[in-house]
Structure 1
Amino acid sequence: MKVLGIDTSTESLGIAIAEDGKLLIGCDKIFGLRHSQDLIPTIKELLKSVSLTIDNIDGFAVAIGPGSFTGLRVGVTTAKALAIVKNKPVVGVPTLDVIAHNAYYYPGTICPIIDAKKGMLYAALYERKAKGLVRKSKYLLLTVEELLKKINKHTLFIGNGIIFYGKIIEKIKKEKAVLAPKRLWLPRSENVAMLGWEELKKGKTDNSFDIIPLYLHSRECNIGK
């Protein structure tokens, strides 16, 4: 089974294809939120590079956020349209799950953080178990101070929220905080494709007409810096 993964939830645009539990190909580029212009050409280019067409894809996975309001609409709308037109299954993958899997092999608590503007961030807590990463919290929208009150263990923080909150995290948590290197901050499309492949293999799908972005803030589209 070939699954096409799409991520437009941040400034990075990513497309990847997973086949039978392995990554076939992936491409992540920083386009600066020009996703509406670049998504379809990037999909076509990636498929062509491995001698495939969209008809060879058995299912779709898309990062559903939280993240950029405009970017999420582009990715989710495109995945829905492809699934409906091609009559193939589609599954949404939360962006915090995707980022956490950038640090899949970290032995302790993993906390992806995404800037949510206006002094807020999106976050969740994960731990590695025998079956893989397990989310130990809800998907959260809160201040960095509120988040740190929930954390008592040594924790790896990962995500673009480090730009804004890395110093205060280190100041408050000191040796209990580890900040991931910048190369791990953004979601990777290979994780979207692989996590989507795992869900579709289990028979878990979302309704093509009903799948929507994960908006933790009811007025997210109106938030400014």
Structure 2
Amino acid sequence: MRIVSIDSSLGSRLLVCEATGPTAHAPVRLEVLADAEQADSRRHAESLGPMLAGALADPAVAARGLDAVVAATGPAPFTGLRAGLVTARAIGRARAIPVHGVPSLDALARAALDELAAGGAGPDAVVLVATDARRKEVYAARYRARGADDVERLGELVVGPPERAVDLGGADAVAGSGAVLHPRIAGGRPVLTAGSGDARAQVRIALARLAAGEELGTEPLYLRHADVQMPVGGRR
């Protein structure tokens, strides 16, 4: 299956990969065919179009069509998240292929749990993910692995000051851009992954959940209202 994956949770990342699995005996296997990234968190709309055009023109990609799109659904700042989802839906409509959504923190948790496992951690290891929500706040949740490719969220997904993340409970490690910005979340533990999403991990999660019969909607997880609000009432 050939998949384009878009994450606009912080900067913009887009990759096209060839994916197989999962099967009863093997996890998802990915071969990245094209990959583009830019770090500016305020240039999603300007960057995603050229990034997509470049990826689709790559000789490794152009020879065959796409089968699906996977996009991050947040939580993340409003404008970037919206740009990524609109781009994903546009590809899906133009090419008549399905579009699947995966929460950004789930993908980041999967990448962090992979790193923990590589370091010798057991299958019950827990990671606390905290990503930048601006306004000196973070989005946060705790996770453990669910199989080789998926994750299970432990408790609620919250937005608030760094103390809200700390109050979620214990963890073997921390991950995310919020933990980098607010070191008290880590409490002296190393921050495994410093981003706000992971375009590669979200493909693995999507395929694992689709294989389990789950539906992967693309409604964004905002958790709070946009910064700009419509005025109430008219002028006098």
Q: Is TM (by shorter chain) over 0.5?
A: yes
C-alpha separation in 1, matches of 2:4 and 2:63: 9
Q: Can you give the 5+ residue segments of structure 2 that lack an aligned partner in the other structure?
A: 21-27, 230-236
AA at the equivalent of 1:59: A
1:203: how far off? 5.0
1:205: how far off? 4.3
Counterpart for residue 150 of structure 1: 168
1:3 aligns with 2:20: no
TM-score, length of structure 1 as denominator length: 0.81
Give the alignment partner of residue 29 of structure 1, picking from 37, 43, 51.
37
Counterpart for residue 75 of structure 1: 84
Question: Identity over aligned residues, as a percent?
Answer: 24
C-alpha separation in 2, matches of 1:54 and 1:6: 21
Q: Can you give the 5+ residue segments of structure 1 that lack an aligned partner in the other structure?
A: none
1:143: how far off? 2.3
Give the alignment partner of residue 140 of structure 1, picking from 158, 165, 179.
158
1:198 aligns with 2:201: no
Counterpart for residue 105 of structure 2: 96
- C-alpha contact (below 8 Å) 2:180/2:194 kept by paired residues: no
Counterpart for residue 160 of structure 1: 177
AA at the equivalent of 2:55: L
The structure whose residues are more often helix, as a share, is: 1
Match of 2:156, SS state, is coil
Q: CA RMSD in A?
A: 2.5
AA at the equivalent of 2:79: T
User: Aligned pairs, how many?
Assistant: 210
TM-score, length of structure 2 as denominator length: 0.77
1:12: how far off? 3.8
C-alpha separation in 1, matches of 2:49 and 2:201: 20
1:201: how far off? 4.2
1:124 aligns with 2:134: no
1:5: how far off? 0.8
Q: Give the ranges of 4+ consecutive aligned residues of structure 1 lying more than 6 Å apart after TM superposition.
A: none
